[in-house]
Homo-oligomer: A and B are copies of this chain.
Amino acid sequence: MKLTELRGVIPPIVTPFDENGVLDLQSLANVTHHLIDGGVDGIFCLGSTGECAALTDGERQKIVRTVAEVAAGRVPVLAGITETSTRRAVQLGKLVIEAGAQAVVVAPPFYHRNSQNELIHYFRDLASELPVPVIAYNVPVLTKTALEPATVEILAREGTILALKDSGGDGNILREFLLKTRDIPGFTVLTGLEFQVDTALQMGVHGCVPGVGNVAPREYVELYELARNGEYHKARELQERMIKLFDICYQGSDQISGSASALSGFKSALRWLGIIKTAKMAPPMGSLTAEEEDKVREVLVSLGFLRN
């Protein structure tokens, strides 16, 4: 069944490894169940939270296949194409679609710099080569090149992209994305800023892609519902609780220095919840020490996600 609109809570699923750094597909299946049980509206594999860029193509394909099999059509499964050229992106796109992805989430190429004009060609080429909807992913802090509002409008209006995931971090620009695309039927905007889901929904976004939603899918679903029903005061309370939960990502020493290994906090929390086996990251990203994982536990306990 073809995906015609994207909205709601679509967590970027983590990629669990075992003690030896090997992909742990059983744990991945567990997280998938956890998310679907939590009521999410979709699952996004191979996002930044999923360590997309660190994985081999073989691992990528297994991840999508596992999630798609567990989801079994209950929610759409999206796969990230974070690649470095058109040829490479098409190649990866075919792999993940073959593995079961119902849509691809495409960031700008992230090594060599591109003009907006080149980005337009990039998205058009992918849309024409791949048989599933394309979602644009704006994350300049990682890709260096931003998708500008005018570019997104062109791609949205001509039907090249079905949605935008914005992790740009500038509220003024998010507002510009919304104002420029609001009248395009079926086109939606999702925010990747998990600390501002309540306000983004108030602004008019249609959904969110929260990393901490791996741990607390039910809470983000509730937050989404509260905002949709105009209960913004309650939405804020829940949002603030989610911000506190994010402290699980601030417990490592390297994490503080800006290393992406902060993501190990998500895995540690899932380990404490009995859903996955380790908090290991793909090297060279480091993982939390046992002592640091104990602090993650304290965060979970203090917020009632775990009993002491």
Contact = CB atoms under 8 A, between A and B. Distances in A.
Contacts of A21: 87
Interface in A44-84: 48, 51-56, 82, 84
Chain A interface residue bracket vs B:
35 or more
13 contacts: A52-B111, A53-B109, A112-B260, A114-B261, A115-B258, A118-B283, A125-B284, A171-B171, A175-B195, A196-B199, A198-B202, A202-B202, A230-B230
A111 B86 CA distance: 17
A115 B283 CA distance: 12
Given A172-B193, A172-B196, A284-B121, A114 B54 contact: no
Interface in A116-164: 116-119, 121-122, 125, 142-144
A56 B91 contact: yes
A82 B110 CA distance: 12
Given A142-B111, A240-B179, A170 B172 contact: no
Q: How many copies does the complex hold?
A: 4
A285 B144 contact: no
Nearest to A235: B202
Interface of A: 21, 48, 51-56, 82, 84-88, 91, 109-119, 121-122, 125, 142-144, 169-172, 175, 179, 193, 195-196, 198-200, 202-204, 230, 232-233, 236, 240, 243, 254, 257-261, 282-286
A21 B285 CA distance: 35
A283 B91 CA distance: 13
A86 B283 contact: yes
A48 B175 CA distance: 23
Given A55-B85, A109-B54, A202 B284 contact: no
- Counting chain B CB atoms within 10 Å of each CB, which of A91, A110, A118 scores highest? A118
A280 B57 CA distance: 27
Contacts of A144: 142, 144
Contact of A286 (B91, B117, B143, B240): B117
